[in-house]
């Protein structure tokens, strides 16, 4: 049993194996956030940050990690930045690598994007109850098809365009990754990343369900 909650933009909470994971927890300034402050996050065990752009929550991750004693997971150079901010528990890795934390395996996978520190990444999270891909910010790229081997239950993909894949590219990504379901993210939060999620669902087609989540909404997996 696991539960995925959308926190707006690219932020998600995943409850699995008795742990609470946060992805790219941008709250302060996130127009789609169900929370008004990072202090509204009551508990967290693991916080995954894909890259250092402000809309992916570095600052809020620092504050949540210090208050909840959550372990922050990030690419090596970004992990060093968290350590410089005195985050108590930080686990670093790099593209192609996997770390295990409390029965949950977290793999760093490529993302084609930019950032200030290190390189951007996506994450594949595995537990007997779920296999989930959070793409971070990325373009469509050829090797995305390798993720089909992961037999993902769910893929969280950016569709907003301008800084990431748009709905057409993201629909091609779905074709290559072949997850059991897809959740569109990273759209509608700024004027430059407006996208039509229903049109994305249409492009993906019927074989793979598109779960259009509203902020604060929850998907359950058995
Ligand atoms: Ni970015
Ligand atoms: Mn972004």
Give the span between the Cα atoms of 170 and 74, in whole angstroms.
Answer: 24
Give the span between the Cα atoms of 40 and 27, in whole angstroms.
Answer: 9
Find the ligand nearest to 112 CA: 1
Residues whose beta carbons lie less than 5 angstroms from ion ligand 2: 53, 55, 137
pLDDT of residue 222: 78
- Reading the chain (222 residues) residue by residue, the pLDDT tens digits are 999 999 999 999 999 999 999 999 999 999 999 999 999 999 999 999 999 999 999 999 999 999 999 999 999 999 999 999 999 999 999 999 999 999 999 999 999 999 999 999 999 999 999 999 999 999 999 999 999 999 999 999 999 999 999 999 999 999 999 999 999 999 999 999 999 999 999 999 999 999 999 999 999 997
Q: Which two tokens stand for residue 134?
A: 């959070």
pLDDT of residue 138: 98
Give the span between the Cα atoms of 57 and 48, in whole angstroms.
Answer: 10
pLDDT of residue 150: 97
pLDDT of residue 40: 97
Find the ligand nearest to 189 CA: 2
Is residue 91 within 8 A of residue 98, CB to CB? The reply is: no
Chain mean position to CA 118: 17
Q: Which two tokens stand for residue 47?
A: 């916080």
Give me ligand 1 centre to Cα 137, in Å.
5
Give me ligand 2 centre to Cα 139, in Å.
12
């Amino acid at each position: 049993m696991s539960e995925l909650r959308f926190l707006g933009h690219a932020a998600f909470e995943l409850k699995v194996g008795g742990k609470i994971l946060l992805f790219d927890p941008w709250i302060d300034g996130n127009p789609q956030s169900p929370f008004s402050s990072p202090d509204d996050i009551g508990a967290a065990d693991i916080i995954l940050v894909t890259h250092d752009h402000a809309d992916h929550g570095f600052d809020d991750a620092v504050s949540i990690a210090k208050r909840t004693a959550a372990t922050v997971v990030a690419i090596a150079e970004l992990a060093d930045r968290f350590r410089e901010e005195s985050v108590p528990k930080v686990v670093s890795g790099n593209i192609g690598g996997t770390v295990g934390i409390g029965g949950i395996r977290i793999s760093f996978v490529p993302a084609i994007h930019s950032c200030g520190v290190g390189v951007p990444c996506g994450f594949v999270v595995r537990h007997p109850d779920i296999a989930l891909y959070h793409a971070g910010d990325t373009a469509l790229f050829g090797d995305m098809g390798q993720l089909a081997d992961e037999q993902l239950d769910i893929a969280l993909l950016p569709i907003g365009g301008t800084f990431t894949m748009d709905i057409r590219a993201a629909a091609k990504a779905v074709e290559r990754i072949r997850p059991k379901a897809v959740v569109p993210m990273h759209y509608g939060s700024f004027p430059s990343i407006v996208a039509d999620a229903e049109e994305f669902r249409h492009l993906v087609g019927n074989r793979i369900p598109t779960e259009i989540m509203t902020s604060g909404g929850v998907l359950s997996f058995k």
